[in-house]
Structure 1
Amino acid sequence: MRGWAAGLLLLFFALPVKADTLRIATFNTELSRNGPGVLLRDIQRGKDPQIKAVIDQIATVNPDILVLQGIDWDYEKRTLQALQLRLKQAGATYPHLFAQQPNSGMASDLDLDGDGRLGGPRDSQGYGSFTGQDGNAVLSRLPIDRDAVRDLSPLLWRDLPGAQLPQHPDGSPFPSAKALRAQRLSSTAHWVIPLKTQDGGTLSLLTFQATPPLFDGAEDRNGKRNADEIRLWQLLLDGALGPTPKTPLVIAGGANLDPHRGDGQRSAITALLADPRLQDPRPTSSEAEENTVEWENAGRMRVDYLLPSADLQVLDAGVHWPTISNQTSDQSDFLASRHRLVWLDISLDQR
C-alpha cells in the first residue's frame, strides 16, 4: 500500500485508545524455529524478514494487549524480551510480559503417539522437538496480577469431565493406559491471566492454542484432543474445573478449528461460539471475510478467535488481512505468517 491510503491506515491503527477502551489482539506468528535459541538469535540479529514482518503488523494494529502463539519459550524469557525490545523500537511498547513453559516440547519419556518409539516430537506432552518450542506469550500495557494467574496446562486429559479419550478398535486405551495416566490435555497451554485495569478492576484473559485435529489415525487422538481443549473453556465457566474466572473476560487464541469446514469436531467450536456467556464479534476483513488463516492445501479458514464475555461492549473488530491490490506493492504481510492478526476493541464500561 502506497501514498495517502497507507498513511490513513497507519494513522487509524496508531490512534491511542481511550482510557476506558482496550484493543486486544491474537496472532499466531509461526515464528518458532527448529532448535533452542535460534529464534532469540534471529530476533537479535535484526535481519530476518519474517520477524520484521510480524513486528510491522503488530506495530500497525498497535493493540494494548497482545496474545501470541508460535513463539519459542526459554527459561529466562530472553526470546520474549528481545521481541519486546524490537516492538518498542517499532513504536509498540509493552511493559508487562507473561510466558510460562508450554506443554509443547515437554518430554514425557513415554510413547504418547503409539508409534512404538520413544523420544519423538509427538511423544512430548504437546508436539515439539525441544523444550518450549512453539509456545504462547502475552504482552500487555496493563499490569498482570501474577499471584492470581491460573495455569491449567498441567491438567491431565483423563481428568477433564467427559473427556473423549482415544481408544484402540478393541476399546482399550490408546496408545496405552500408562500413557493416558500421564497425558496432559493442553497441547500448548491454557492460562487465565488477570489484568489490572485503570479503574481498579480486573479483565480476565483466557488464552490457549489447541492442537490441529489432524496427523493421527483411526483413533482420532488429535481430533478428540482438539475438541476437549476447546471444551475446557465452557467447563471452566461452568465451575467444573475450580473457581470460575472473574468477568469481564476475553478468550483469546487459536482453536485450529473452523465452525463450517475442514477436519475436526466442528461442534466443539460451534458450541463455544454460541455460549450465551460469551459473544462472537465475528471479526472480518474486506479481503477474506471471517477467515483468519490461509493454508496452501486447505485454503482459507477461521481458526483464531477473540471471544469477549457477554457483559462487555464491543466497539469494533477486524482481521488484519492485506488486500489483493496490495500484494504487488508490499509483500511484507505475506512474509509474516499464514495466520492473520485478529483484533478487537472493547469498552470497559460493562453492559
Structure 2
Amino acid sequence: MRRLLVTAVLATVALGTLPGAAEAHKSRDLRVATYNLSLNRPSQGLLREHLANPDVDDVYRRQAKNVAEVIQRAHPDVVLLNEFDYDPRAAELFAKNFLGVSQNGAPAQRYPYRFVAPSNTGVPSGFDLNNNGVIDTTPGDQAYGDDSYGFGLFPGQYGMVVYSKYPIDRSAVRTFQQFRWKDMPGNLLPTDYYSAEEQAALRLSSKSHWDVPVRVHGKTLHFLVSHPTPPTFDGPEDRNGRRNHDEIRFWADYVAGARYFYDDQGRRGGLKRGQDFVIAGDQNADPLDGDSYEGAINQLLEHPLINSRTRPSSAGAAEAAALQGGANATHEGDPRYDTADFADTAPGNLRADYVLPRKGLKVTGAGVFWPVQSDPLSRLTGVYDPVWAPVNGFPTSDHRLVWLDLHK
C-alpha cells in the first residue's frame, strides 16, 4: 500500500500539479509554522558570531541563508524555530541580517516580535545521569551533555525561539523549564535507573515548554511550543523514550486544564477552558514508525480537543521515501506526511514535526516545505552531502518546515 501511494503521488508530481514551495496564503488567514532548522553550533557564542557577519562566505553562513530563505518562501506569520542556540542577541541578528534581507529573490520577512528564554540543554545537573561513574563538568564533552538536565555540549545549545508578526503578550507568557518530571502524576520516570536524589531533581523538559500568547486582531492564540528529546541514545531502561512520551503528554494534559502544572513564575494550572491554541514543535515521534515509546504522539493526535485530521504533506517526502528506500520501504505510515529526512538504514524518514490546532479553529491550508527534486527549490532541502558535514550534512536541515493556515 505504501508503494502504491508513493507511485500515485509521483504521477501527480509529473503532471506538475503539486508546487514545491508553500502556497501563498490569503491575507485573512494566519500561517503558523514550526521548523527545526538545525542552526545549533558546536560551541557557545559561535552562532552569534556567524549571524553577526553574514557576508563571510562559509558553510555556516550559507546554511543560515538557506534556512532563512525557506522561512521567507513559506512566509509564516508565527513560527517556532527549534535547534537555535539560546542567545537573545543571536535571535535578533537572525531576524535582522537574514530573515530581514531577501535571499535569492525571496521576499524578506520582518518579525517585530520574538520570544526567547533559557533551555535545559547543557545545564549541569550535578548528577551522573548516564551512570558511567563520573559526573562530567567539562562543557563540550559528550558525557557532559549526558549529565545535563537536557543534552547539550554547553548551556542553551539546541534551544528555541519564536518569531511573530503579531504582538506577543509577554506578561502572560508561561515557561516550564524547571517543572520536575516527578510532579507529573502517573509519569514514566524509570525509578530503577535514577537514584532517589536524581528523581527528586530531574526536570521533565529536555529544552523547555512555552505557552506564548499571541494577539491576533483582538483575540489571543496560545502558541504552545516545545522540542521533546529524541527517544533514542539510551539503554534498555528507555529513559529518553519515556521522557519523550511524557514531554508530549505535557501538552495533552495542559490543554485539558490539568491542575498539577506550575510554571517558572510560580503560577499554577493548565490552559483555561475555551482558549484557542496551536501546539507546535519537533516532537521526535512518529505515530507508526521509529523508536518512540508506544503511543507517544497519539496522546496529541487522538486528543478530544485537538484537530489532527488536517495532516500537512508534501510530494517531496513521498519522492524521497521512494528514491532512498532502505527502512522507508518497511514503514507503515504514508510517506507523504514525513517531515524529517533521517538515515535510510534506520529509522528512515519520519513524521516528527507537528502543528496541531484546537478543534473548532478553521483550517484553510497546510503543507510541508519539501520540494520534489525537479523543483529548483529542492536545492534548499537537498540530500545528505559531506560538503555540509560541518552543519548537519544538509544545505538547511534534516527536518522540514511544517505550516498550517488558520482563518483569522
Instruction: After superposition, give the CA deviation of every residue in 1:14-57 in whole Å (9 maximum; x if it has no partner).
Output: x4642x42001100011101111111111222232211110110
Picking from 244, 247, 252, the partner of 1:226 is 244
1:25 alignment counterpart: 33
**Unaligned stretches of 5+ residues in structure 2:** 1-15, 103-107, 137-143, 262-268, 318-335, 383-394
Picking from 70, 78, 81, the partner of 2:89 is 78
Picking from 344, 347, 350, the partner of 2:407 is 347
Matches of residues 93-172 of structure 1 in structure 2 within 5 Å?
93-119=110-136, 120-168=144-192
Aligned residues: 330
d(CA) in 1 for partners of 2:216, 2:400: 27
What is the TM-score normalised by the length of structure 2? 0.78
Instruction: After superposition, give the CA deviation of every residue in 1:64-112 in whole Å (9 maximum; x if it has no partner).
Output: 00110000012xx111011011201121110001010011111112212
Picking from 225, 230, 233, the partner of 1:215 is 233
- CA contact 1:149–1:191 (8 Å) conserved in 2: yes
d(CA) in 2 for partners of 1:118, 1:83: 35
- CA contact 1:17–1:23 (8 Å) conserved in 2: no
Picking from 333, 344, 348, the partner of 2:381 is 333
d(CA) in 1 for partners of 2:244, 2:277: 22
Matches of residues 171-182 of structure 1 in structure 2 within 5 Å?
174-182=193-201
- CA contact 2:78–2:165 (8 Å) conserved in 1: yes
d(CA) in 2 for partners of 1:216, 1:161: 23
- CA contact 2:363–2:407 (8 Å) conserved in 1: yes
Change (3 A) 1:330 1:214: closer
- CA contact 2:230–2:241 (8 Å) conserved in 1: yes
1:192 alignment counterpart: 211
Deviation at 1:238, TM superposition (A): 2.5
d(CA) in 2 for partners of 1:79, 1:117: 33
The answer to whether 1:89 aligns with 2:140 is no
d(CA) in 1 for partners of 2:199, 2:256: 25
- CA contact 1:156–1:185 (8 Å) conserved in 2: yes
d(CA) in 2 for partners of 1:197, 1:332: 31
Deviation at 1:9, TM superposition (A): 6.7
Matched residue of 1:325: which SS?
coil
d(CA) in 1 for partners of 2:375, 2:149: 41
The residue identity in structure 2 corresponding to 1:87 is L
d(CA) in 1 for partners of 2:360, 2:38: 32
Picking from 303, 314, 319, the partner of 1:285 is 314
What is the TM-score normalised by the length of structure 1? 0.90
d(CA) in 2 for partners of 1:266, 1:65: 31
Deviation at 1:152, TM superposition (A): 1.6
Deviation at 1:193, TM superposition (A): 0.7
The residue identity in structure 1 corresponding to 2:337 is E
Higher percent of residues as strand: 1
The answer to whether 1:294 aligns with 2:341 is yes
| Superposition CA RMSD, Å | 1.7
2:51 alignment counterpart: 43
1:315 alignment counterpart: 364
Structure 1 residue runs of 4 or more that deviate by more than 3 Å after TM superposition = none
